[in-house]
Amino acid sequence: MNVRLFDIAFTPGSAADILRFAAAQPATRPRLIVTANLDHVVTLTENAAFRAAYDGAVARTLDGMPLVWLARLRGARSAGRVTGHDLIAAALAPPWPAGQRLYLVCATEAVGRHLTERLVAAGIGREAIATTVPPYGFETDEAYSRALSEAVRAHGTTLLVLGVGAPRSEIWVDRQGAALGAPVVLAVGEAMNVAAGLVPRAPALLQRAGLEWFFRFLHAPRRLFRRYFVRSWRLVGIGIRAFRKGASKPADAAPLGSVGARVRRNPDSC
């Protein structure tokens, strides 16, 4: 069953299903997969460029458990969670597809180095992997963005993974468009650090209980306090307005509200 919440159409299926779906789309531009959580929903009301990136994505997943629960309450009983962790694990799992070329855009040199070594140890040729650490504000640096896009395309990239966080990753990919070629693109943020073995992930019990956010907060309280304890409360108002607007419509037929109409036209506020 298709799910539509906050005027976002979510793609059903497992991580592997979604990757296959993305790869099957026309190779005319980057085939971006985005993973929606509560912070994304709030940001979509503020940032027109982020909304454009979401609209242009070939697939959108329910990342946050509260969104999964809401989808199920709306009638999509089979709605499931597919996180950035799930996507990167499925994308990098053996066997490595013939001709696969991976480009990693990392938050730090350590992430790129550790993840590359893990992949090489798993049997992936080092020549098939390229990494870079972009400078802060790279998404608004036209010269750097042009050079990075050219590097991604020259590498023959088939899978581009960005671990530099939202909304920068999604906006940058959408703005570069065909200059990147037509790789499948995963914007996975912190999940790349976990895949590299540098950051722990919450235990499965906390994940199922919808408390993975609290585990992350305990490991980075100063960085995540505002997101989880200030910005997240804005979703209450968004949800109330959305529920009033779409409460009488089934989840697979109509959106639960619309964030698009309330976007503030400030595409560089990222």
Domain ranges of the chain: 3-198+232-254
What is the per-residue pLDDT for 160? 98
* pLDDT at 217 (0 to 100): 78
Tens digit of pLDDT for each residue in 69-98? Answer: 988 988 888 899 999 999 999 999 988 888
CB distance 173 to 187 below 8 Å: yes
How high is the pLDDT of residue 266?
38
Residue range 174-189: mean pLDDT, rounded? 97
pLDDT tens digit string along 122-160? 999 999 999 999 999 999 999 999 999 999 999 999 999
Q: Which one has a higher pLDDT value, 135 or 204?
A: 135
Whether the CB-CB separation of 256 and 70 falls below 8 Å is answered with yes
What is the pLDDT confidence band of residue 268, given thresholds at 50, 70 and 90?
Answer: very low
**What does the pLDDT average to over 209-220?**
80
Tell me which range, 13-27, 35-49, 191-205, is most confidently predicted by mean pLDDT.
13-27
pLDDT confidence of residue 22: 97
DSSP per residue over 175-196, as a string?
A: HHGGGG-S-EEEE-TTHHHHHT
Peptide bond into 167 cis (omega under 30): yes
Q: For the chain, give the percent of residues with pLDDT over 90.
A: 60
Phi, psi at 238, each rounded to 5°: -60, -45
Q: For residue 237, what pLDDT is reported?
A: 65
Instruction: Look over the chain and give the mean of its residue pLDDT values, rounded to a whole number.
Output: 86
Beta bridge partners of 159: 102, 184
The confidence score (pLDDT) of residue 74 equals: 84
pLDDT at position 38 over 60: yes
For residue 1, pLDDT beyond 70: no
SS3 (DSSP) at 265: coil
pLDDT for position 243: 60
Average pLDDT over residues 176-199: 96
Each residue's pLDDT tens digit, 235-262: 666 665 666 565 434 444 333 444 443 4
**Amino acid sitting at position 238:** I
List the single range of 11-20, 73-82, 104-113 with lowest mean pLDDT.
Answer: 73-82
Tell me the C-alpha distance between 64 and 47, whole Å: 20
Over residues 30-36, mean pLDDT: 97
